[in-house]
Amino acid sequence: MALSAPLYAKSVPHNLEHIIVTGSRVVESIDEVPASVTVISREQIEAQLKVSPELQNLLEVLVPGMAPSTNSSSNTGQTLRGRAPLIMIDGVPQSTPLRNGSLGIRSLDPSVLERIEVIKGATSVYGNGAAGGVINYITKKPSNSSDFSASVDASTRFSAVKSDETLGTRVEGSINGRMDKFSYLATLSYEENGVQRDAEGDILGLQYGLSDVETENYFTKIGYDFDAEKSLSLTFNYYKSQQKTDLGDIFGDINQGDKSYAIHVPADQQKQGRPQGPSGNTNIMLKYSDSEVFANTGMTVDLYAQDIENVFFYSPNLANPSAGYDGGQSIIASEKQGLRTTFNSQFELQGAEATFIYGVDLLNDISSQPLVDGRIWVPEMDMSNLAGFVQSKWVIDDHYVIKAGVRHEDIDLKVDDYRTLELCRSETQCSVPMDVKGDTLNYSATTYNIGIKYNAFEAFSPFISYSQGADISDIGLLLRTATVNDISLIRTEAAVIDNYEVGFTSVLDALRLEGSLYRSTSELGTSNSFNETTGVYMPVRAPQEIWGYELLADYRFNSAWRTTLTYAYVEGKNTKDDIYLGAKQISPPKATANLQWQPSRDTGVSMTLLYVGNRKRFAANANGDYVGDQGPVDDYLVVNLSGQHKFTEQLNAYIGVENLLNRDYYPARAQAYTYGGYNIKGLGTSITVGLKYQF
């Protein structure tokens, strides 16, 4: 899809040519991007957050090609076109590709967002980890106005099914202003959830759950304009979101149709170990821009540092009775330092407008996954990455847009000698520990992209594109399950993803249509196979092919009424064995419908329908059970409603209802994942009520 049109911004005209994105690392017109891009505006973000404060739910509804939300803190299974996306804040990676814990989507509070840009399909524009594309959270900038402004937003959230213990609170505040050449913006937010209940009134299971989660976010951006061309900005963001609860899980079995849920239990039966969730993730970004560093050329230099520590739940699958461990709790720790230099040169060449974007990226990423008790599950991986790139764009006769580019990566990954863990599911089902000799692995890859878009007719503007991405994601998963004694013998080769796509946009008066058809292939994918002897899910590296299509229709009936419909289908196979890929990558078909009514400037109502279809590609085993991520998915429909009214220019009230019809259902991942504890039902009817005051 070329662009998902804003659903709630009445002030945005139907012609969206002025919308810009950073898919090429510099701002450009959306009409000059021969690729699938979804831009989510601030108005859309605010409208969706009236229903749910979770970014996973927002992306599920507003991004065709994004797998259904998991209703949890983990985005495992919430892929983009069947592959893992790279999550970024202002271009800085938040994912931990070397050991992908699937927690990147919840990496900041949505109150700091100006917009979200989603570039779909494999891309090497930002380097490693973007096998499925890029989700870039663009943070707010200080106002250009010299006036000081501030706002306070307070809301509460509770279950309409059974309100006991469900009351949650959320407060966010911000200040914004400018003093001559100096500008500033600061926000802080704090949210405390009550327990979350399903449609039957039971508390949702705790595995990656959001009951009793406390979240805090501190964000500031300071800018200084040296002159009209040169500026410097410093951005700081601190995010912490952890579950602190006295509940305990009652585990069910999805093969038997039994849900997992939580109840109050004695202290010795409560969740052991540290609270799960991000324990304090920090991002610092320094940006220098010069729009005329030399003739016809602008320059941007980004220097960034990041410290991530994601704590996972206590699991009995990390047990080793012979060594005195009845379970364990892991932490994914990652430290990144990087430098990005981007030049942007524009010329007139024989009647064509030519743009050249080029630069150098440096990144050092040190990631590991130790256990809280001191055991090392994934050893420290020290990656140094040097990359250079050139991207060109040619606009010919105002009708043809041709983009072509190349990026070369050189990666060194150092791992010291280590020993794999002995882990036991039972006394007789244990993995075999292995002493593994470390080494420095070297990767080198050159990836290419080319795309063409034809803009002569507003009624039909087609594009075609080919892009590649180089990916060494989740090396940590391969290291921790090693069955050989030398790291050089583990199949850690980089995967090159080839992405092919054709699409179009059409504007016919009040109707906007979009569509795309895509196919991506890779000679090396990573799926899993369960080893009955050791009780370990072993990585399987085999060629993969993923294909699908997306459709969007947006129609404005009049100034008050508007509707948007989307449909997305994705499927994929391990082509070596001709078997379908499981739910860790492939989601069921998804359709959304949004109806918006805004009778006046001060009042608006929106209803959203989310439909998730069936996907039943796998057979049960001899015992009649499904294994791994191969459970059958039945369809379900969820309806959300939100509304707002502005009493004065300063005071705005809003209400949101999630799962308006109190549908009793298992989300797609909960049906497909047979791993213990994932079979948690969806949230029952929940209501959010809030007030926002602007000074």
Strand order in the sheet with 247-250: 203-204, 261-264, 247-250
What's the pLDDT score for residue 22?
67
What's the pLDDT score for residue 531?
66
CB atoms within 10 A of CB 574: 17
pTM of the model: 0.92
For 596, counting Cβ atoms within 10 Å of its Cβ (0-12 exposed, 13-18 middle, 19+ buried), the class is buried
The token duo for 22 is 């950073």
Per-position b or e across 145-174, b if 16+ CB within 10 A of its CB: eeeeeebebebebbbbbbeebbebebebbb
What's the pLDDT score for residue 4?
36
Distance CA 368, CA 89 (A): 22
For the chain, residues with pLDDT lower than 70 are: 1-23, 526-539
**Helix H or strand E segment including 380:** strand 376-396
Distance CA 11, CA 20 (A): 17
DSSP character for 259? Answer: P
What's the pLDDT score for residue 426?
82
Distance CA 428, CA 392 (A): 59
Provide the 3-class DSSP secondary structure of residue 481. coil
DSSP character for 98? Answer: G
Distance CA 118, CA 87 (A): 9
pLDDT in tens, 454-497: 999 999 999 999 999 888 878 898 899 888 899 988 878 888 89
Instruction: Note whether 199 and 162 are within 8 A (CB).
Output: no
For 550, counting Cβ atoms within 10 Å of its Cβ (0-12 exposed, 13-18 middle, 19+ buried), the class is buried
Provide the 3-class DSSP secondary structure of residue 303. strand
- The domain ranges of the chain are 20-694
Instruction: Give the start-end residues of each E strand in 37-85.
Output: 37-40
**Helix H or strand E segment including 374:** none
Distance CA 508, CA 362 (A): 45
* CATH code reported for the domain at 20-694: 2.40.170.20
What's the pLDDT score for residue 19?
64
Instruction: Note whether 129 and 104 are within 8 A (CB).
Output: no
Instruction: Note whether 613 and 589 are within 8 A (CB).
Output: yes
